[in-house]
Amino acid sequence: MGLLDRAGGQLTARAEDAEILVVNTCSFIDSAKQESVNAILEMARHKRENGGKARRLIVAGCLVERYRDEIRKNIPEVDAVVGTGELESILLAAGLPAAGLATQPQTTPSASPFNILLSRAASAVHQHSHPSEVGPQLEIAGAPRLDSETWVSAAATRSRAEGDARQRQGRFSRAQWTGATAALPEYLYSDETPRILTTPRSSAYIKIAEGCDHPCSFCIIPQLRGKFRSRPLVSIVAEAQRLIAQGVREITLIGQDTTCYGEDLGLRDGLSTLLDALAPLPGLKWLRFLYAYPNKITTRLLETIARHETIAKYLDVPLQHASVSVLKRMKRGGTAEVFLRLIEKARAKVPGIVLRSTFIVGFPGETAEDFNQLCEFVAAAKIDWLGVFGYSDEEGAASFSLDRALKVPKRTIEVRRRRLMKLQQKISAKAKAAWVGREVDVLVEGESDETELLWQGRTALHAPEIDGKVLINDFGPHDALVPGTFYRAQITESHEYDVVARIIE
Ligand code: SF4
């Protein structure tokens, strides 16, 4: 969107008004693919039937990485496809001049975002003769001070030994995928890549890394997004500073695995280093990261969360299962005991920490006993926010080729999913009841999604979009609330996932 805007395109969210339609797609699991295909078909119909205003239909994103040729062959209305590794070609696809990019200051003549990334990283290091000028915040008690060598090396692109080994074993191969190209995406955006935020003004996501080197047997994301690669630290800090200057107060760091951050750049405990750099930025109120890998949660990472007031006491760690045999077949490793110890440690190191996790039920070979072990684990772990997904059999994932006899019937998967959610509902209701009476900072989002009689917001212990809500039924001293503003509130009631609060300041 940023590239299109900078090249002179005018953005509209209404398909009826658009001359160029862009459908951004997901290809992770069946339901996401279906939703993507439905959206493409809807826009194709729109292009055919809507009085001729829409001239071009572009399909972008992961579905293109998976079915590039098939999309064009089967949906003739599609004029162009743009994979995740070729973002700049959206301009060509839209018929907009790539020259628009050249109006921005660059140190290389090319308009490619790859060059923007490299030039920006080089220029940022060059512009600031001493790293303390880039981020004086790096000089924090207890945190390692980054020397200029780290800034520079953190701008170089390498790969992780684990990723290289997996590549040799064929983890990233697309050989079996009809209609996909063999080349893996290598793209990374930079702080100079134009961005248009679609989140509310005070909140933004920053992607700190792209791709994944893990071998999870149910997942095709590594084949879709490529090998793990981190953005240079200097680029992330620069982007955060720019977002804060624009009014952003909450930053959520994302990536397929945020806890691997910096390993490819030669940083040790890279995520902790990055958090140390970001947390003290003036104007930032809440900082969090999502998608931690269980065995990558180090003591230093937990201590970093505990040390900074701005870092949300919140840990999102998808565990996927708790039965050893299922975890082994998932190629995830770990056991219920190991996970319980990790949770205990997180709670001891970061008092009041809230945990989020996701689980997959119905993985091939999951027996009633495996499922019971998962339920026992969930009951013991008392995770605050929990998502349960039914296993989706993805062609191209290693688990797809497991013996057909091992596949769990769809009906059983759904029954287990509901049972686990029901169990979690009780755990959550009890935990939320303990929130009543607490005073908290609430970021007000606006009117409630469910009723105009209430407003809604979040505390630092709710990540955007995925967790419960704080419903506001009393504005306290205010006649009206301003969305995107922080207020002091007191929790007055609790429900299964949501709580109710009144504003006090
Ligand atoms: S860590 Fe996440 S993205 Fe990576 S392979 Fe496993 S499930 Fe997929």
Nearest-CA residue for atom 6 of ligand 1: 216
Q: How far is the CA of 136 from the centre of ligand 1 (A)?
A: 34
pLDDT tens for the chain, 505 residues long, are: 999 999 999 998 889 889 999 999 999 888 999 999 999 999 999 999 867 689 999 999 999 999 999 999 999 999 999 999 898 899 999 998 775 444 443 333 333 332 222 233 333 333 333 333 344 334 433 334 555 555 545 555 688 999 999 999 999 999 888 888 888 999 999 999 999 888 888 999 999 999 999 999 999 999 999 999 999 999 999 999 999 999 999 999 999 999 999 999 999 899 999 999 999 999 999 999 999 999 999 999 999 999 999 999 999 999 999 999 999 999 998 999 999 999 999 999 999 999 999 999 999 999 999 999 999 999 999 999 999 999 999 988 999 999 888 999 999 999 999 999 999 999 999 999 999 999 999 999 999 988 888 999 999 999 999 999 999 999 999 999 999 999 999 999 999 999 999 999 8
Mutate to test the pocket of ligand 1, among 162, 257, 297 (most ligand atoms within 8 A of CB): 257
Cα 51 versus chain centre, distance: 38
For residues 276 and 145, membership in a common domain is answered with yes
- 216 CB within 6 A, ligand 1: yes
pTM for the model stands at: 0.89
* Ligand 1 probe mutation, 171, 216, 389, most atoms within 8 A of CB: 216
- Assess whether 6 and 95 both reside in one domain: yes
Please check whether residues 132 and 273 belong to one and the same domain.
Answer: yes
Q: Are residues 319 and 384 in the same domain?
A: yes
One domain, residues 427 and 470: no
Q: Are residues 452 and 324 in the same domain?
A: no
Whether 379 and 465 share a structural domain:
no
Is 295 inside any structural domain?
no
Based on the domain organization, do 48 and 160 belong to the same domain?
no
Q: For ligand 1, what atom is nearest to the CA of residue 220? A: 8
The residue nearest atom 2 of ligand 1, judged by CA position, is 256
Number of domains the chain contains: 4
CA of 221 to the centre of ligand 1 (A): 6
**Residue range(s) defining the domain that contains residue 165:** 111-172+185-198+210-248+260-283
Looking at 34, 65, 99, the residue that finishes a domain is: 99
**Does 256 contact ligand 1 (Cβ within 6 A)?**
yes
Pocket test for ligand 1, best of 221, 258, 293, 326 (most atoms within 8 A of CB): 221
Q: How far is the CA of 379 from the centre of ligand 1 (A)?
A: 25
Last residue of a domain, one of 99, 128, 160: 99
In a domain, 404, yes or no: yes
CA–CA dist 272, 266 (Å, integer): 14
Q: What is the CATH number of the domain that holds 496?
A: 2.40.50.140
Ligand 1 midpoint to CA 173 (Å): 15
* 481 occurs within a structural domain: yes
Structural domain contains residue 460 = yes
Is 213 touching ligand 1 by the criterion CB < 6 Å?
no
54 CA to middle of ligand 1, Å?
A: 37
Tell me how far the alpha carbon of residue 265 lies from the centroid of ligand 1, in angstroms.
Answer: 20
Q: Do both 328 and 429 map to the same domain?
A: yes
DSSP string, 122-180: HHHHHH-SSHHHH-GGG--TTSPPPPHHHHHHTTS----HHHHHHHHTTTT--TT-TT-
Residue 425 lies in a domain: yes
Question: For residue 106, is it within any domain?
Answer: no
Distance from residue 320's CA to the centre of ligand 1 (Å): 10
Instruction: State in Å: Cα 216 to ligand 1 middle.
Output: 6
Question: Do 264 and 141 share a structural domain?
Answer: yes
Give domain status of residue 58, yes or no: yes
- Co-location of 415 and 474 in the same domain: no
CA of 391 to the centre of ligand 1 (A): 14
| Contact assessment for residue 258 and residue 289, using Cβ atoms and an 8 Å cutoff | yes
DSSP 256-271: S-GGGTTGGGT-TTHH
User: Can you tell me which atom of ligand 1 is nearest the CA of 225?
Assistant: 3
d(CA 305, CA 313): 6
Instruction: Give the pLDDT of residue 199.
Output: 84
- Residues 13, 65, single domain; the answer is yes
Beta carbon of 257 within 6 Å of any ligand 1 atom: yes
248 is written with which tokens? 């952003």
499-503 and 455-458 beta bridge pairing: unpaired
Nearest of 323, 333, 321, 331 to residue 358 by alpha carbon: 321
Residue 214 CB less than 6 A away from ligand 1: yes
Decide: 286 and 443 in contact? Cβ < 8 Å: yes
What per-residue confidence (pLDDT) applies to 395? 86
Provide the CATH number for the domain around residue 95. 3.40.50.12160
* Residue of 93, 129, 214, 116 whose CA lies nearest to 165: 214
Can you state the percent helix, strand and coil of the chain, rounding each to 5?
A: 40, 15, 45
**Is residue 306 included in any domain, yes or no?**
no
Which neighbouring-strand residues pair with 286? 250
